[in-house]
Amino acid sequence: MLHSRRLSPSIAAALLAIASSSLFAQATVKEDGKWRSALGAAFSSSSGNTEATSLTLSGDLVRARTQDKWRIFGDMLFAKSEGTTSGNQVRLGTRYDWNFTPVWFTFAGANAERDPIAELSRRMSLSGGLGYRFLNLPDKTFSVFGGVQLTDDRYTAPRYIDGGTRDAYRYGSLLLGEESTHTFTESLTARQRFVVFPSMRNRGEFRAEFDGALQVAMTQSLSLNVGFTMRHESDPGPGIDTTDTLLTTGISVKFD
């Protein structure tokens, strides 16, 4: 099931367009150097007064060792409403963490996205920085991090951005965030991540992202997932709301 607080096709498709990591499908993280993966899917369909379908797929691939962790992730959203395509978004990304002390780490990441419904032909971003782990226990973790992100956007049609009409836009931003994991029982786990991107070009402008996921294990490999995403942009442009939310429910399969 997918839920958005409004029905604008371009906004519904753009909800997943600027994310740092895929939380819907969560691969098991063990510091043994082995690759582990998870695949998730959510589907909804309605008929009668409203004809609509939506499909979300997500994947997570992780290899963790004592000194580092490498994650590769991706997701896809496709939706139709009243016979019109209202969502068509694909995202792929990776992040590498290197622990140079038990609590301090550096990270580097890259993301690639496309969303023709939101007139985004391509978005490429590179990020890097430094982080600190306050907690790193088997049942809970908590870390903070900061750095910079460089982004290159290309649009399918010119749009008004930063005082001018452009078909491409390159910009830099700071990156400040925190993330945590929680194991409540053997079958119930949760993750959350909050990141703020203050603009390095226009003072006072920023983006903010929140991703949360709750996972209930039904078997050793099959889980029920509930995900929540919030995206806020201080100056999204004329006629566009500043905040969007997305609620997703579905199942995921782990390959350990």
Contact 73, 94 (CB under 8 A): yes
State the pTM of this model: 0.80
Q: What is the dihedral of CA 48, 50, 51, 56, to 10 degrees?
A: -130
Task: Tell me which of 202 and 218 has the higher pLDDT.
Answer: 218
The pLDDT tens digits for 81-104 are: 878 887 788 889 999 999 999 999
Ranking 127-131, 143-147, 228-232 by mean pLDDT, the lowest is 228-232
Ranking 51-65, 102-116, 197-211, 230-244 by mean pLDDT, the lowest is 230-244
Q: What is the average pLDDT across 237-244? A: 70
pLDDT at residue 13, as a whole number = 35
Q: 158: which residues sit within 8 A by CB, 6+ positions away? A: 165, 166, 167
pLDDT at residue 10 tops 60: no
Question: H or E stretch including 76?
Answer: strand 68-81
Task: Tell me which of 168 and 13 has the higher pLDDT.
Answer: 168
Task: Tell me which of 245 and 12 has the higher pLDDT.
Answer: 245
Quote the mean pLDDT of the chain: 83
CA 241 to chain centre: 20
Q: What distance in Å separates the CA atoms of residue 63 and residue 250, rounded to the nearest whole number?
A: 24
pLDDT at residue 49, as a whole number = 67
The pLDDT tens digits for 43-63 are: 877 777 677 888 888 899 999
Least Cα distance to 193 among 148, 234, 227, 217 occurs for 227
Quickly state the pLDDT bin for 236 (edges 50, 70, 90): low
DSSP per-residue letters across 107-129: EEEEEEEEEGGGTEEEEEEEEEE
The rounded radius of gyration (Å) of the Cα atoms in the chain is 18
